[in-house]
Amino acid sequence: MLALTLRARYHWGFWVRVPGTSKAQATLPIPPPTTIIGALTYPLARRGVLSIRGLRHEGDVVFDDKDGIMSPAWLLSKYIYAVAGFDQNYTGYQWSDLSRCVTLLFQETTKGTDEEKAAGGRRYLMKYRMGALPVGKVYCPSGVLSMVLLVDEAASEVVEGNLEDELRMAAWQMTRVGSKESIVSVEEVAVSRAKPLDERFVKTRYYFPARLGEVKEGSYYTESFWRGGWGRRARLEPEEYIVPGERVPLRGGEVKVSLLDDGMAFEANGEVVVGYKHGFAQR
């Protein structure tokens, strides 16, 4: 099993939309595992080194057998266990800005007035087409996000070429972690072998699924992420995570963890993460 570790510095901050939101656009306080996997997959897809296995694709967009759109990250998600944590000297603030957005799709086609009838429905009136909506962001200029990805070497089935070299190159080519505006500069990248640790109590600064361990010391908060992808044809499967640090303001931290039956600690390039004892993909 390979361990890919990297440090990336945000330019202004980031936003990752909370699942299930549409008009209201709240943000998560830290990028979830699926966002990290997607950030790594993007340069791999752009360079054309992913094996699509007969699926139709255009650039970094993959189409399933029913012509539905899906992310190429789907190809790698079952081979990767990803975690992240902010540096302990990091301070971030969750905020919502008012943005002018298209709201036409949230309007009904009712024709209760002469004006609405003439337009063909309320949603076609100009005064209903735009609106001021709160858009959540996390402001953390120069905030450093550390990430660890444990990669099953079977990922070579979908990544062409030398897996270790391709992962290292993709990590250096990451430009964002979050929405397209969540720009980062990657500062450090390392690839090594992940080392399982035969210890019950460990200290970590990276988030982990709550079912894998109990916090004995240190500040933390819980956040609901999700397993795998979700969308029109994939049901959302939430998973509660323990996130070391503080929520208000957002700060990184370290916790002492007592591992539960399904949990195991791994050492990756000097970093300790809590993962699954049997397999390590997000399940």
Q: What is the CATH number of the domain that holds 45?
A: 3.30.70.3120
User: pLDDT confidence of 143, banded at 50, 70, 90?
Assistant: very high
Separation of alpha carbons 20 and 99, rounded Å: 19
**Higher-pLDDT residue of 33, 230:** 33
Closest to 166 in 3D by CA, of 39, 9, 6, 47? 47
Q: Do 175 and 85 share a structural domain?
A: yes
Domain hosting 128: range is 97-135
User: pLDDT confidence of 169, banded at 50, 70, 90?
Assistant: very high
Q: Do 32 and 157 share a structural domain?
A: yes
- Asked whether residue 170 carries a pLDDT value surpassing 90, the answer given is yes
Q: What is the pLDDT of residues 194-219, one digit of tens each?
A: 999 999 999 999 999 999 999 999 99
Q: Do 174 and 70 share a structural domain?
A: yes
98-106: average pLDDT: 79
Q: What is the full DSSP assignment across 127-163?
A: GGTEEEEEEEEEE-TT-EEEEEEEE-GGGGGTB-S-H
> Is 174 inside any structural domain?
yes
Predicted local distance difference test score (pLDDT) of residue 283: 45
Q: Supply φ then ψ for residue 249, to 5 degrees.
A: -70, 170
- To the question of pTM greater than 0.85 for the whole model, the response is yes
Q: Do 83 and 102 share a structural domain?
A: no
Q: Which amino acid is at 131?
A: G
